[in-house]
Amino acid sequence: MSKDLQNKVLFQQVVELLQNARQQVLRTVNSTMVYTYFEIGRIIVEEEQSGKDRAEYGKQILKGLSKQLTNEFGKGFSVDNLQNMRKLYLVYSISETVSSISKDTNQKYETVSSISKSQDRIELAKVTLNFRLTWSHYIFLINIDDQKERKFYEIEAIKYRWSLRELKRQYNSALYTRLALSRDKEGVLKLSEQGQIIEKPKDIIKDPYILEFLGLPELHQYSETELEAEIISKLEHFLLELGHGFTFVARQERITFDDKHFRIDLVFYNRILKCFVLIDLKIGELKHQDLGQMQMYVNYYDREMRLEDENKTIGIVLCQNKSDLVVEYTLPENNEQIFASKYKTVLPSKEDLIKLIS
């Protein structure tokens, strides 16, 4: 190895080491800050509980504390932010801490109150809690009332390193609800304890798919070709909406037999399920012929493209509207390969979303 090359390799190794160290420092500083805010919230709550008129006394505490901390430390200690710290403690101290403390040591919630030193409290919180996101993430999460839903989004944000913007987008598109609707009680519980676990084809299906990132007005007249072009131009966003493990393979994939040519709109591969996923885009109402055509595509891929160690191909027809009865009577009873889902090109209101998924 030449001296110049050796120096470059050495330099790259040192750079990588320093970058990893910086990231680790940032993660450590961030998590310590959130744990500290949790502890500040505890102090505020316990002080409030000692007052006679708790509501009025609580307001006085926050105003006075905010003024003093701002004078001492500068920004970050507004009344609103102190209220967020208080809420962080209230949300996580009971619902999360009790269930997170190790059963092996038989510790209970009272243990938290029995420790006198603040640093010891923070260390205990680090053991019993799992604050691995930014403070901004937790400000958003603590406003999700449903504990199972909140835990799901927290797990997914940690697992897939969602930015705050992506977390908000997934929440606003009702990802948890869309996934929960296709699961039984045990499946819903798993969502809140483990996040989205993909074990079978149905686990990757959403209904509806929310494609607001395409920028296509709901009443705008567009063709299937235009819809496909917009998806390709915003492929990264589309992959996020599809879910975990998807990689793009091809668009307008041509298949030929008996001198007849057919084109599959979009072809993906799911690394978790180890199978191809074919997507056809349809404008308007779903027809039984659309499902039959997808069945043909899936059969072709299974027989001509699938390798021995790969699982059966999945086909998804994305349409604006569909009849559940048409889907039910067109597909086999034990179907696990062909799916039909609606899509929306604008983010529905909460009321409209409830109607869509109910």
CATH number of the domain that 267 lies in? 3.40.1350.10
Calculate what percentage of the chain has a pLDDT beyond 90. 53
- Name the domain boundary from 152, 173, 197: 197
| Residue pair 281/228 in contact by the 8 Å Cβ criterion | yes
CA atoms within a 13 Å half-sphere pointing along the CA-CB vector of 218: 8
Q: Where are the alpha helices (DSSP H) in 50-78?
A: 54-73
Is residue 130 domain-shared with residue 22, that is, in the same domain?
yes
> 205 and 336 share a domain?
yes
CB 121 within 8 A of CB 39: yes
Q: How far apart are CA 177 and CA 187, in angstroms?
A: 12
Claim to verify: residue 105 and residue 172 sit in the same structural domain: no
Shared-domain flag, residues 342 and 225: yes
Q: Which of 117, 140, 163 is the last residue of a domain?
A: 140
Which pair of tokens denotes residue 140?
């958003």
Q: Domain count for the chain, please give it.
A: 3
Question: What whole-number distance in Å separates Cα of residue 88 and Cα of residue 41?
Answer: 7
Tokens linked to 19: 């970058």
> In 3-state terms, what secondary structure has residue 209?
strand
Is 358 inside a domain boundary?
no
For residues 1 and 7, give the distance between their C-alpha atoms in angstroms, rounded to a whole number: 10
Residue 356 lies in a domain: no
% of residues, the chain, pLDDT over 70: 84
Residue 113 has pLDDT above 60, yes or no: no
Distance CA 132, CA 119 (A): 18
* Predicted model pTM: 0.76
Q: Are residues 81 and 210 in the same domain?
A: no
For residue 71, give both structure tokens. Answer: 């004078």
Q: pLDDT class for 352, splitting at 50, 70, 90?
A: confident
Specify whether 151 is located in the same domain as 64.
no
Same domain, 58 and 91: yes
**CA–CA distance, 104 with 102 (Å, rounded to integer):** 5
Contact by Cβ (8 Å): 11, 18: no
If one compares 207 and 251, the residue with the highest pLDDT of the two is 251
Q: For tokens 């109402």, what's the residue?
A: 285
Residue 230, in any domain of the structure:
yes
| Interacting residues of 24 by C-beta distance below 8 A, sequence separation 6+ | none
The predicted pLDDT at position 14 comes to: 80
Is pLDDT above 80 for 265? yes
Q: What size, in residues, is the chain?
A: 358
CB 337 within 8 A of CB 331: no
- The residues with which 278 forms a beta bridge, in sequence order, are 267, 315
pLDDT bracket for residue 152 (50, 70, 90): very high
Specify whether 185 is located in the same domain as 213: no
Do 12 and 83 share a structural domain?
Answer: yes
Residue 354 located in a structural domain: no
| Residue 296 and residue 244 share a domain | yes
Does some domain include residue 182?
yes
C-beta separation of 315 from 300 below 8 A? no
Mind listing the pLDDT tens digit for each residue in 266-321?
999 999 999 999 999 999 899 999 999 999 999 999 999 999 999 999 999 999 99
Q: Which of 11-20, 89-98, 233-242, 336-345 has the lowest mean pLDDT?
A: 89-98
Q: In terms of residue numbers, what domain contains 206?
A: 201-348
For residue 195, give Cα distances in angstroms to 160, 192, 246, 286, 343.
11, 6, 17, 31, 23
Q: For residues 245 and 337, state if they share a domain.
A: yes
- Cα radius of gyration (the chain): 26
pLDDT in tens, 20-78: 788 777 777 788 899 999 999 999 988 887 755 566 667 788 889 999 999 999 888 99
Does the residue 355 lie in any domain? no
* Domain-embedded: residue 115: yes
Examine residue 353 and state whether it is found in any structural domain, yes or no: no
Q: Are residues 298 and 185 in the same domain?
A: no
Q: Cα separation of 201 and 203, whole Å? A: 5
Residue ending a domain, among 171, 197, 223, is 197
| Short-list 284, 283, 256, 280, CA closest to 268 | 280
